[in-house]
Amino acid sequence: MVAFYAALRSIKLYPLEHSTVQKTLGELAQVAELMRSEEGELEFRISGEFIFINSTRLRLDLSNYATFGHILSLCKAAGIGTIHVGARGTVREWSLLLTLLGGETKVSPDERLAEIISRLKQAAIELFQLDPPMQAGTDQEFNEEAKAAANRTYSQSVAVTKDVINSVRIGKTPNIRKIKRVVQGIVDQVLNEETSLIGLTALRDYDEYTFTHSVNVCIFSVALGRRLGMTKLQLYELGLAALMHDIGKSRVPLDLLQKTGDLTEEEWKWMAAHPWLGVLVLFQFRRQQEELSYRAMTVCHEHHMKVDLTGYPKPIRPRQVSVLSKIVTIADGYDAATSRRVYRTEILTPASVLEEMRDNPRRGLDPVLVKAFINLLGIYPTGTLVVLDTFELGVVSAANPNPDALSRPIIKIISDAQGNVTSPPLVVDLGIPEANGEFARTIIKTADPERYGVRVSDFL
């Protein structure tokens, strides 16, 4: 951004041939190419008042306000929402884009964008792909669309995962490319709009546990990875590893997986073998042309090992559990504990699961990553039934995007103080205070949906 700004300024001040202009443009082309080759792509995107470079939102503060603000207003005036930068840009290509961007104008942003695109085309410059900002439309419309897209991604992912697991079970090698596409779909969806997919993880289907579990672990892992600042390519790798973490279970007899009672020692041996069985399955995948990273195998192997190595399999030598495994272990533990399964009648509320993950050292989780995970989901994760100080009941529908308001999620109020059903449910952002600065509603506790006869999935 600094290089971009410097080049814009110098073009404004000097003629194009001037050495300062050539130097700043050269630096811009160089740094852009460096980023592109390191991260695999380079995309500059504006969303509202935020600037994203690939998946990272740039932090706006006083020291860079002038720089960012200037670029933001130029792009807005030029009708630009995203600039996708191709490989090995030259000074000539960048100079034309910046000249066009900095030019004076009286036409509307839409017309400006069309003009810039056609001028680049005339000059035979294909380095940049410019697109208008994502139309937010009316919020309602946008939300509906985002929700529909998230639903599509989710159900496709579950279908492909089911296919993969079932084909491994009957001894076939599934198509890796298909799995990779699923992961890409999830990563893209999480990058575009974090909350919509996370909301879907609460809609677990009891019969399809094995498949929805893998997809949920993938979604939680990718969303957490994103919070940790991973690049898109790193997220692909993490997502793939997360989706495949339990693939070894397809080598464990089905009746054992579905058994409700206690396991015999022999049976437990089978269950505890699924991490390394998974590594073998992934090794077989490697016969295909498509590259499959060793990191996915590491995650398979390590996801029950725990940070203090008290889990299984027992490592022979001292080792450090990889960060991808630590992330997947957290996602795995959370999803398993919040799902209702055959052999568990009592289900913990999502909030109490998070609390337990944070406070119980025997879980063997990385405390810093757990903290980031709680930041991601909020103290009251999506799908939590909550009681408000107004005695109304609500279901959490999304975490508050503001990290300072973790205890004030977006909720749907489903019944009033007298217990009458609110239909349709009233959507309230608990983080918005009244005119007098006080909050109209505050969560006082979470509640067990069973006890209130509420099916939270009906409200998600």
Q: What is the dihedral of CA 67, 71, 74, 75, to 10 degrees?
A: -170
Minimum distance from residue 22 beta carbon to Fe ion (Å): 56
Minimum distance from residue 328 beta carbon to Fe ion (Å): 8
CB-nearer residue toward Fe ion: 72 or 280: 280
Among 193, 194, 302, 332, binds Fe ion (CB under 5 A): 332
Q: Which residues, numbered 180-209, are part of the site for Fe ion (CB under 5 A)? A: none
For residue 379, CA distances in Å to 384, 397, 421, 446 come to 10, 13, 25, 10
CB-nearer residue toward Fe ion: 93 or 246: 246
CB-nearer residue toward Fe ion: 311 or 425: 311
CB-nearer residue toward Fe ion: 302 or 332: 332
Minimum distance from residue 336 beta carbon to Fe ion (Å): 6
Distance CA 343, CA 355 (A): 23
CB-nearer residue toward Fe ion: 32 or 277: 277
Minimum distance from residue 287 beta carbon to Fe ion (Å): 24
Q: Which stretch binds Fe ion (CB under 5 A): 3-11, 225-233, 324-332, 380-388?
A: 324-332
Distance CA 203, CA 321 (A): 31
Angle, alpha carbons 191-192-197 (nearest 5°): 80
Binding-site size, Fe ion (CB under 5 A): 2
Angle, alpha carbons 65-69-74 (nearest 5°): 160
Minimum distance from residue 369 beta carbon to Fe ion (Å): 17
Amino acid at 22: Q
Minimum distance from residue 281 beta carbon to Fe ion (Å): 13
Q: Are 154 and 197 in contact (CB under 8 A)?
A: yes
CB-nearer residue toward Fe ion: 95 or 214: 214
Q: Which stretch binds Fe ion (CB under 5 A): 115-123, 128-136, 329-337, 365-373?
A: 329-337
What is the DSSP pairing of strand 82-85 with strand 50-53? unpaired
User: Can you say whether the dihedral through the CA atoms of 163, 164, 170, 174 is positive or negative?
Assistant: positive
Distance CA 67, CA 325 (A): 39
CB-nearer residue toward Fe ion: 194 or 246: 246
Number of helices and strands in the chain (H, E): 18, 10
Site string for Fe ion, 236-255 (x = CB under 5 A): ----------x---------
Minimum distance from residue 221 beta carbon to Fe ion (Å): 11
Q: Which stretch binds Fe ion (CB under 5 A): 317-325, 326-334, 357-365, 410-418?
A: 326-334
User: Can you say whether the dihedral through the CA atoms of 193, 199, 201, 205 is positive or negative?
Assistant: negative
Q: Which stretch binds Fe ion (CB under 5 A): 104-112, 163-171, 264-272, 325-333?
A: 325-333
CB-nearer residue toward Fe ion: 193 or 302: 302
Angle, alpha carbons 367-373-375 (nearest 5°): 110
Distance CA 182, CA 204 (A): 18
Minimum distance from residue 332 beta carbon to Fe ion (Å): 4
Minimum distance from residue 245 beta carbon to Fe ion (Å): 6
Distance CA 225, CA 323 (A): 10
Q: Is 392 in the site for Fe ion (CB under 5 A)?
A: no
Q: Are 198 and 377 in contact (CB under 8 A)?
A: yes
Q: Which stretch binds Fe ion (CB under 5 A): 202-210, 282-290, 330-338, 412-420?
A: 330-338
CB-nearer residue toward Fe ion: 164 or 396: 164
Q: Which stretch binds Fe ion (CB under 5 A): 132-140, 328-336, 344-352, 380-388?
A: 328-336
CB-nearer residue toward Fe ion: 128 or 285: 285
CB-nearer residue toward Fe ion: 193 or 246: 246
Upstream peptide bond of 433 is cis (omega within 30 degrees of 0):
no
Minimum distance from residue 252 beta carbon to Fe ion (Å): 10
Distance of CA 257 to the CA centre of its chain: 29
Q: Which residues, numbered 61-120, are part of the site for Fe ion (CB under 5 A)? A: none
Amino acid at 324: L
One-character DSSP codes across 249-297: GGGS-HHHHT--SPPPHHHHHHHHTHHHHHHHHHHHHTTSSS---HHHH
Closest CA to 363 of 340, 345, 336: 336
Minimum distance from residue 242 beta carbon to Fe ion (Å): 9
**Could you list the residues that contact Fe ion (CB under 5 A)?**
246, 332
